Amino acid sequence: MDPRYDVLDLAARLAHDYLGSLAERPVGAQATLEELRARFEGPVPETGEAPGAVVDALARDVDGGLIASAGPRYFGFVIGGVVPAALATDWLTSAWDQNAGGWPVAPALSVVEEVAAAWVRDLLGVPTGSGVGFVTGCQMAHFTCLAAARHRLLADAGWDVETDGLHDAPKIRVIAPEQAHVTVEVACRMLGMGTGSVEKIACDDQGRARLDALRSALADGDGPTIVCAQAGEINTGAFDAFGEIADLCDQHGAWCHVDGAFGLWAAVSPTRRALLDGCERADSWATDGHKWLNVPYDCGIAIVADADAHSASMVSTAAYIPPPEGDAPWPFAWTPEFSRRARGVPVYAALRSLGRDGVARLVDGCCDHAVRIASRLRVEPGVEVLNDVVLNQVIVRFGDDDAATERVIDRVQEDGVCWTSGSTFQGRGVMRISVVGWQTTTADAERSAEAILAAARAVLG
């Protein structure tokens, strides 16, 4: 063993200590902003320190400012944990330090990513010929998918957007549910289509796009059109009616894009797969590995049925880059990055360690915990569960009052047994509970429900 790398053993021990503390440490951060700044601030070090001293000090100083989101009772935002095989593989991905941008510089990892992509296509039930890009998150997955949409729609209208840009190009309409995740609009902004190109359509009480609204929006205009649909609304976890949306897109020649940041993984669950009926007819799908697949940050996945449009909008070449050899994998074709980390490798490891049935158990387990928490909460006077718990999301309102709901959320966060975040759903303040971690047990779900009820009782009296 080369002693210069002894620091890796220290890192492994510190990681073990941290991960071993997850189940019982307070879930929220304990240190204040001032405390954290005081620990890290200082001038640029003039001389270096031993690697072990740096790692040791860093691990000591971040503690208290860490959120136990990889643990069993973190239900904030939509933040998954990390399964051990993916974590260990992520470390090795750093140790190997391959530039996964291209086959010539990362032969083995390009093949691992190629296989991971095939497994993802199979598990998510999308067409086998689809392009798959491992990007940083669902935000960049939207960007990538909508860049492919922009390419295809404008090419069909006789416009080469990659060469000529958007000046004087036919305008692209983007139709999205009013409950669409903000990252869809941000992707449109980054792609030069502008947030102004996004036409919002009304949703029902679960945040599903209303078909009558989509029908009339499509009838009200023409030209190149993208319709965005949702598999797993951010608050309620609801799914749009994909079959009907696909029919409407076919009638109007529109590109159908699905935001399935977490909800697309329902495809792996035999009991919840039906929520996605018709979703396989879409043109592109954006999802995450770092949410429900429980791989470490960061990992999003962009999937495009029209692989030619995908690669035409993303591929980069340069004189110093050798051209693709035969059918060797060519990751440059699928992501906006030129150089990048091989973030598909932890995906491969997660899928290999879980297997199809393990992913299904992960998804179903989280959904069952969400149902359990909702059932426990909804029987309490003054506590209202606002959504149909079809997936892993629960939204709850306390005392039918925004301020009371806010106070319950604050109490839960301070108490530290579990951690939930807040949101506004259709104009009303809510607590959002999102179960996406592999570590959560039935006992954790029950303990968390009790902690939320205790906070509610303290606030509502």
Ligand X SMILES: Cc1ncc(COP(=O)(O)O)c(C=O)c1O
**Of 90, 114, 185, 288, the one binding ligand X by CB under 6 A:** 288
What is the C-alpha to C-alpha distance for residues 313 and 190, in angstroms, rounded to an integer? 14
**Does 397 sit near ligand X (CB under 6 A)?**
no
What is the distance between the alpha carbons of residues 139 and 158, in angstroms, rounded to a whole number? Answer: 28
Instruction: Name which position in 147, 172, 188, 261 contacts ligand X (CB under 6 A).
Output: 261
Task: Check residue 137 for interaction with ligand X (CB under 6 A).
Answer: yes
Q: Binding residue for ligand X (CB under 6 A) from 240, 259, 283, 444?
A: 259
Q: What type of residue sits at position 347?
A: V
Question: Does the protein bind ligand X through residue 440 (CB under 6 A)?
Answer: no
Q: Does 181 bind ligand X (CB under 6 A)?
A: yes
Name the residue among 137, 220, 209, 221 with its Cα closest to residue 178.
209
Contact between 138 and ligand X per CB under 6 A: yes
Query: What is the chain's percent helix, strand, coil content, to nearest 5?
Result: 45, 15, 40
- Pairing status of strand 300-304 against strand 284-288: antiparallel
Least distance (Å) between residue 78 CB and ligand X: 4
| Interface region with ligand X, contact rule CB under 6 A, candidates 65-73, 135-143, 204-212, 332-340 | 135-143
CB of 389 to ligand X, least distance (A): 16
**Is residue 177 part of the contact set for ligand X (CB under 6 A)?**
no
Q: Which stretch binds ligand X (CB under 6 A): 134-142, 171-179, 190-198, 422-430?
A: 134-142
Which whole-number Å values give the CA distances from 287 to 118, 145, 283, in the listed order?
15, 11, 14
Ranges of H-type helices in 319-401:
344-378
Q: Collect all residues with Cβ–Cβ distance below 8 Å to 5 and sequence separation of at least 6.
A: none
Q: Closest distance between ligand X and the C-beta of residue 194, in Å?
A: 19
- Nearest approach in angstroms of CB 137 to ligand X is 3
Kindly indicate which of the ranges 1-9, 258-266, 388-396, 412-420 contains the residues binding ligand X, using the contact rule CB under 6 A. Answer: 258-266
403, 407, 400, 397: which is closest to 433 by C-alpha?
397
Taking the least distance from each CB to ligand X, the nearer of 288 and 306 is: 288
* Shortest distance in whole angstroms from residue 178 CB to ligand X: 14
Q: Does 234 bind ligand X (CB under 6 A)?
A: yes
Helix (H, G, I), strand (E, B) or coil at 258: strand
Does residue 445 interact with ligand X by CB under 6 A?
Answer: no
Binding residues among 291-320 for ligand X as defined by CB under 6 A: 300
The Cα 346–Cα 349 span in angstroms is 5
Contact characters 42-81, ligand X, x per CB under 6 A: -----------------------------------xx---
Q: In what order do the strands lie in the sheet with 428-434?
A: 383-385, 393-398, 428-434, 421-425
Structure tokens at 184: 């869809």
Question: What is the distance, to the nearest Å, from the Cα of residue 60 to the centroid of all Cα atoms in its chain?
Answer: 29
Return the residue matching tokens 């303040």.
429
By CB under 6 A, name the binding residues for ligand X: 77-78, 137-139, 181, 183, 232, 234, 259, 261-262, 288, 300
